[in-house]
Amino acid sequence: MAFLPQTDAQALAECLVAFANGDGGLIVLGLAKNGRLTDTIWEEEAEAALRKAAQLCQPPVPAQWQPVDIGGQLLIGINVPRSTHLHSLADGRVLIRSGAANRPLSGDEIRNLAASKHTAEFELELVPGARPDDLNPDTISEYLQMRARRGAAKVTDLDQLLFEIGATDRQGQPTVSGILLFGKNPQAFFPQSGVVFVKFPGTEPRGLDGGIGYGRRDELTGPLARLVERAWNIVHEEMRVGATVNHLEREEITEYPRFAVRESLVNAVAHRDYRITGRRIEIRMYADRLEVISPGGLPGYMTLDNLVEEHFSRNPRLVNGLYQWGYIEELGLGIDQMIEDMVQAGHEPPQFNAQPHSFTVTLSNKRERPPMPKWTQSMNERQTRALAYIRENGSITSREYQQLCPSVSAETLRRDLADLVERGLLLKIGSKKGTNYILK
């Protein structure tokens, strides 16, 4: 969401381009960034600004008016859907929305985003041979119930809803997203959409005797929601479970933090490239780690460096479906919490490996240090990483912090450390180039 206090055509054009190139968003006019109302903006004024802004976008960005109620005050909103085209400004800049700002893309990021745009409508393609009765009414009913719990309006026309969410076309014929989300047997049309779980007894993909083999192997099928649940149930069955007593209450401690495991599974199911045939999602459980391998590299402008800060969906309709179902708690924040939970539990942060045609998340079960104190839950991922570094090495310098977070500006990192000092968690020792930070 973007707040624009005035009808500035240039600022409006930048937001239009940034949202259209990403996952879409809402622009609210007459509201400052701090949430305060500004001068009243009339519809005629907003329409004139939008027409002028459209002339600054190449190609023009489609948008719809949407009233927004802020504290009883009705403001003008502009809903910008995700676009299948690559949009730029008249001056040539290509922007995406990053947090509360519009960020220009580099040359490589523009090329990657353009390549992703060409495949963005795969979800809406009709499935050859599929018929309306290949959709499971029980699965759709469950989806509607979960959607209602999230506060969605009551559905009065089911056919219209299925069309709006991209599950069918106007004639009710199933699309790719419809079969994957609600199909009775999605793997009959997309064999690659299943999941394979394999458990190895050691740290290598071998059996107990050192030869080729495994301890357990399961092939999971069904619509996406069932895949997530079945994969979680199997991993949970195979995880070692311990316990501790906290304030006279017994707390269960799993081998890996629950959220980190579920987020890894959900991300693999939601973001894999379903155009890649011949390979399914693989879950490999070893004695020392858990690997979740998803077919398809990082989409759009996503890189390992901006994985925590940015968000871009290869499959926005599948992501929205799982979000409405309740499997995705809050869009774009899962990676951050996954890292925090792993460090909080005393593990190494998750490792991410991006290849051109696959993406792997590795969770380590080694606890080489005690769990982090609870107050780290109020910190960002960078600060949590800095504290973990200090616990292992005794101190940290600004240069070492920069090496931990190479894609973050020096000023942002300085504010991170200053915040920890102000909260009484770190002590600042020395000055200028000789400054060190230690736990207080």
In whole angstroms, what is the distance from residue 164 CA to residue 176 CA? 14
Query: Which residue has 């949009």 as its token pair?
Result: 87
- pLDDT for res 336: 80
Q: Which stretches of the chain drop beneath a pLDDT of 50?
A: 247
Last residue of a domain, one of 47, 76, 104: 104
Last residue of a domain, one of 46, 79, 104: 104
Same domain, residue pair 317 and 346: yes
- pLDDT for res 69: 85
Q: Which two tokens stand for residue 40?
A: 């009243």
Q: How many domains does the chain have?
A: 3
In whole angstroms, what is the distance from residue 241 CA to residue 252 CA? 7
**CATH number of the domain residue 429 falls in:** 1.10.10.10
Same domain, residue pair 348 and 239: yes
Same domain, residue pair 216 and 206: yes
In whole angstroms, what is the distance from residue 373 CA to residue 391 CA? 11
Same domain, residue pair 273 and 203: yes
Last residue of a domain, one of 57, 84, 104: 104
- pLDDT for res 237: 92
Same domain, residue pair 384 and 342: no
Same domain, residue pair 188 and 78: no
Show the domain range for 388: 374-439
Identify whether 316 is preceded by a cis peptide bond (ω within 30 of 0).
Answer: no
- pLDDT for res 235: 96
**CATH number of the domain residue 264 falls in:** 3.30.565.60
Same domain, residue pair 360 and 428: no
Same domain, residue pair 199 and 241: yes
> How would you classify residue 430: left for phi > 0, otherwise alpha for psi between -120 and 50, otherwise beta?
left
5, 38 in Cβ contact below 8 A? Answer: yes
C-alpha 384, offset from chain centre: 19
- pLDDT for res 280: 97
- pLDDT for res 265: 97
